[in-house]
């Protein structure tokens, strides 16, 4: 299907100011978007007569502004470590003609929407995790980032355990606000926070360090750059976390990253010690992503069921011995 073409003269002056080498805007195409953002492709001719395309995302309101800033800061952080793994960011800011509308501007890459090949993709993810360094050596991020339109709690606590617990509590609150309360789930939460979380992240603390994670890495946020036939990632909501947190989002079948992706990843980075807790940690991390899905789409049956599955899978297990996931990653 052909992209929607819109008039090039609608481009805001503040956006044009960030691409001063443009001689002429040729076309603006609507690439799609979501209920909370619009994505565009800007085709231009530069002053040196070369053609150049740009990627533009816009969002409105205070949350829109915060999400754009979070994405821009995330992309800059990824660029420092794995510059060829993303389309380079250029600028972000408010529109002059619509101050309530915020924009993100980056270079445009032609990306095929298909499942990426595991080896190169996981090599790049491992490089991002292994080579990134938290500026203050803590878990968190210097600004709020978003999963969809869900703001993430990125404060800098003192440990991986406390960072995960605080982030999980925050997402539970978001889920309750959007999907409604669950008395059954609420009754199980004290044991979860008092026994399950201390049982799993705490023993890892001496053997891990904060790594930069994409934060919402599923097959829909990765694709193939046709210019180089290499995997690229986009739409990040970064923070510094235990690197294996990233893999929690791969566990759900809906996200299409099979066991081959886990194996490819761990060819570059071994499983954290104690390895006997690995499966249970992946399950634990996957629970937050299930809450994300249930909060983003509370009226969709499958995602409501993911919250119920979360409840069954974790709280139906013995505590504190661990969580037997039945999933071999």
Whether 325 is in a domain gets the answer no
Chosen domain end from 108, 141, 174 = 108
The whole-chain average pLDDT of the chain stands at 89
pLDDT-derived band at 326, boundaries 50, 70, 90? very low
| pLDDT > 90: percent of the chain | 72
| Stronger pLDDT, 129 or 252, i.e. the higher one | 129
Average pLDDT over residues 224-229: 95
Chosen domain end from 51, 75, 108 = 108
- Residue 206 is classified by DSSP as G
User: What's the pLDDT tens digit per position in 241-258?
Assistant: 999 999 999 998 889 999
**Residues linked to residue 91 through DSSP beta bridges, in sequence order:** 105
- Residue 102 is classified by DSSP as E
Whole-number Å distance between alpha carbons of 294 and 288: 10
Residue 312, pLDDT > 90, answer no
pLDDT at residue 195, as a whole number = 87
* Domain match, 75 and 159 both: no
User: What's the pLDDT tens digit per position in 265-276?
Assistant: 999 999 999 999
* Domain match, 305 and 162 both: yes
* Domain match, 78 and 167 both: no
Whole-number Å distance between alpha carbons of 110 and 325: 38
pLDDT at residue 251, as a whole number = 92
* Domain match, 128 and 258 both: yes
Average pLDDT over residues 11-24: 92
Average pLDDT over residues 107-121: 96
* Domain match, 132 and 229 both: yes
pLDDT-derived band at 308, boundaries 50, 70, 90? low
Under 8 Å between Cβ of 164 and 239: no
Residue 4, pLDDT > 50, answer yes
Residue 146 has phi, psi (to 5 degrees) of -125, 145
Least-confidence region, from 33-42, 134-143, 179-188: 179-188
**Is the whole-model pTM more than 0.75?**
yes
Residue 160 has phi, psi (to 5 degrees) of -60, -40
- Residue 272 is classified by DSSP as P
User: What's the pLDDT tens digit per position in 79-103?
Assistant: 999 999 999 999 999 999 999 999 9
* Domain match, 139 and 100 both: no
96 lies in which domain range? 4-108
Q: What is the CATH number of the domain that holds 171?
A: 3.90.1200.10
Average pLDDT over residues 177-182: 87
pLDDT at residue 321, as a whole number = 41
Whole-number Å distance between alpha carbons of 218 and 96: 34
* Domain match, 49 and 162 both: no
* Domain match, 142 and 256 both: yes
Least-confidence region, from 1-10, 97-106, 193-202: 1-10
pLDDT at residue 32, as a whole number = 80
pLDDT-derived band at 158, boundaries 50, 70, 90? confident
| Stronger pLDDT, 9 or 33, i.e. the higher one | 33
| Stronger pLDDT, 102 or 301, i.e. the higher one | 102
Of 112, 126, 159, 76, the closest CA to residue 263 belongs to 126
pLDDT at residue 1, as a whole number = 42
pLDDT at residue 294, as a whole number = 83
* Domain match, 82 and 128 both: no
pLDDT at residue 324, as a whole number = 39
* Domain match, 63 and 146 both: no
* Domain match, 174 and 278 both: yes
Whether 17 is in a domain gets the answer yes
Chosen domain end from 81, 108, 135 = 108
Whether 324 is in a domain gets the answer no
Crossing angle (nearest 10°) for helices 118-131 and 61-81: 90
pLDDT at residue 301, as a whole number = 45
Whether 326 is in a domain gets the answer no
* Domain match, 135 and 265 both: yes
Give the total number of structural domains in the chain.
Answer: 2
SS3 45: strand
- Residue 86 is classified by DSSP as S
């Amino acid at each position: 299907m052909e992209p929607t073409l819109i008039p090039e003269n609608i481009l805001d002056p503040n956006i044009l100011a960030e691409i001063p080498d443009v001689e002429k805007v040729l076309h603006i195409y609507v690439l799609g978007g979501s209920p909370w953002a619009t994505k565009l492709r800007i085709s231009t001719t530069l002053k040196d007569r070369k053609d150049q395309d740009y990627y533009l995302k816009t969002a409105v309101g205070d949350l829109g502004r915060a999400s754009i800033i979070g994405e821009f800061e995330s992309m800059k952080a990824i660029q420092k470590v794995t510059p060829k793994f993303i389309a380079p960011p250029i600028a972000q800011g408010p529109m002059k003609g619509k101050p309530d509308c915020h924009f993100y501007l980056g270079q445009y890459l032609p990306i095929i929407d298909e499942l990426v090949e595991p080896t190169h993709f996981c090599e790049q993810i491992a490089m991002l995790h292994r080579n990134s360094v938290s500026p203050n050596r803590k878990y968190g991020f210097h600004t709020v980032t978003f999963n969809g339109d869900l703001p993430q709690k990125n404060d800098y606590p003192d440990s991986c355990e406390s960072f995960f617990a605080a982030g999980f509590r925050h997402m539970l609150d978001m889920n309750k606000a959007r999907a409604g309360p669950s008395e059954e789930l609420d009754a199980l939460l004290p044991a979860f926070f008092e026994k399950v979380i201390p049982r799993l992240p705490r023993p890892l603390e001496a053997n891990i360090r904060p790594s930069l994670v994409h934060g919402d890495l599923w097959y829909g946020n990765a694709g193939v750059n046709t210019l180089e036939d290499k995997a690229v990632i986009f739409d990040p909501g970064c923070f510094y976390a235990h690197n294996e947190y990233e893999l929690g989002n791969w566990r759900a079948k809906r996200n299409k990253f099979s066991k081959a992706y886990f194996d490819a990843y761990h060819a570059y980075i071994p499983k954290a010690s104690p390895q006997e807790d690995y499966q249970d940690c992946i399950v634990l991390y996957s629970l937050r992503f299930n809450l994300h899905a249930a909060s983003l789409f509370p009226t969709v049956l499958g995602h409501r069921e993911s919250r119920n599955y979360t409840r069954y899978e974790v709280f139906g297990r013995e505590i504190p011995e661990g969580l037997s996931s039945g999933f071999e990653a």
